[in-house]
Amino acid sequence: MPVPLMVANWKMHKTVPEAVDLVQDLLPQIREVRDVEVAVAPPYTALHAVGKAIEGTPVELASQNMFWELEGAFTGEISPGMLRDLNCRYVILGHSERRQYFGDGDGEVARKVNTALVEGLVPILCVGETLGERDYGKTFEVVQRQVLSGLDGSVVDRGDELVIAYEPVWAIGTGKTSSPGAAQEVHSHIRGLVKSLLGEETGRDIRILYGGSVKPDNIDGLMAMDDIDGALVGGASLDAASFARIVRFKGM
Ligand code: PEP
């Protein structure tokens, strides 16, 4: 069983002082937690300050996005080297909000995943179906396409080099969650895919996170599922006590 991973995605929230306050509020509430890895993904502007605040703690730093080029005339973009400079370990790629509003299609996501892996960052590859796709019974097809295309051309040798997050788009920020059983079915499908693509051992060790309105009152049921190895948490991660309770899920 891989070590569970809980990732806080603060999206476009928090100024620098607010972000530092939030992480400083969180740290004492998760100090006693063992055997769960925690990462926080502040907005770019707060990465440096939050990185300083978590120095010497087991909490890892994550970025919410990244460009695939190493440097150059790409106004407004951030390179993998810039993220490594700030001690980022993880980078969220292909989040549905990036796919929906910023033109990140399967091809762009694959290039980003590939560059992150080559440059020593751990991509958190996000996949998930929209409400319409779910209603048409296309969940497995969509998720399969996004996983296969997201990893196209990438080499993954070990399970700790990649994280996949299954986030049904209809559940993100809506208060609706997939039932643990329904999420497990998709996670198990993803696990099978990565095993056939990357080998039995790597596929077994890769963390597959669930995301979409994860809250203190639904995390325990989700984490009881065999193939749910953690959560990518948006709204509930903006409150230190809520996120700390998610990190301290029952059953850990
Ligand atoms: C997310 O940002 O990835 C997310 C799942 O958001 P929320 O928890 O608010 O649904």
Residue 251 has pLDDT above 80, yes or no: no
Contact 96, 106 (CB under 8 A): no
Mean pLDDT of 29-44: 96
Token readout for 70 is 């190493």
Q: Which residue has the tokens 């960052």?
A: 121
pLDDT band at 55, cuts 50/70/90?
A: very high
127 Cα: distance to centroid of ligand 1 (angstroms): 12
Range of the domain at 92: 5-247
pLDDT band at 252, cuts 50/70/90?
A: low
pTM for the model stands at 0.97
Residue 249 has pLDDT above 80, yes or no: yes
Report yes or no on 103 lying in a domain. yes
- Collapsed DSSP state (helix, strand, coil) of residue 212: coil
Q: Whose CA is nearest to atom 7 of ligand 1?
A: 234
Q: Whose CA is nearest to atom 8 of ligand 1?
A: 234
Report yes or no on 147 lying in a domain. yes
Measured distance CA(142)–CA(147) in Å, rounded: 9
Q: Which residue has the tokens 């953690």?
A: 230
From 6, 7, 10, 11, give the residue whose CB has the most ligand 1 atoms within 8 Å, as the site to mutate.
11
The DSSP-derived string for 208-231 is EEEESS--TTTHHHHHTSTT--EE
Contact 184, 228 (CB under 8 A): yes
Mean pLDDT of 203-226: 97
Which region among 138-142, 173-177, 220-224 has the lowest average model confidence (pLDDT)?
Answer: 173-177
Report yes or no on 167 lying in a domain. yes
Report yes or no on 238 lying in a domain. yes
pLDDT of residue 175: 86
Q: Whose CA is nearest to atom 1 of ligand 1?
A: 234
Contact 89, 61 (CB under 8 A): yes
Report yes or no on 69 lying in a domain. yes
Report yes or no on 178 lying in a domain. yes
168 Cα: distance to centroid of ligand 1 (angstroms): 10
Report yes or no on 252 lying in a domain. no
pLDDT of residue 64: 98
pLDDT band at 108, cuts 50/70/90?
A: very high
Mean pLDDT of 157-170: 96
Report yes or no on 156 lying in a domain. yes
Mean pLDDT of 224-247: 98
Token readout for 39 is 């990462």
Q: Whose CA is nearest to atom 6 of ligand 1?
A: 234
CA atoms lying within 13 Å on the CB side of residue 40: 35
* Residues having CB within 6 Å of any atom of ligand 1: 9, 11, 167, 172-173, 211-214, 232-236
210 Cα: distance to centroid of ligand 1 (angstroms): 10
Active site residues: 95, 167
pLDDT of residue 1: 82
pLDDT of residue 176: 86
Residue 57 has pLDDT above 70, yes or no: yes
152 Cα: distance to centroid of ligand 1 (angstroms): 25
Mean pLDDT of 66-77: 98
pLDDT of residue 177: 85
173 Cα: distance to centroid of ligand 1 (angstroms): 5
Q: For the chain, what is the domain count? A: 1
Q: What is the CATH number of the domain that holds 116?
A: 3.20.20.70
Question: Which ligand 1 atom sits closest to the C-alpha of 96?
Answer: 3
Measured distance CA(82)–CA(175) in Å, rounded: 34
Q: Whose CA is nearest to atom 2 of ligand 1?
A: 234
DSSP code at position 4:
P
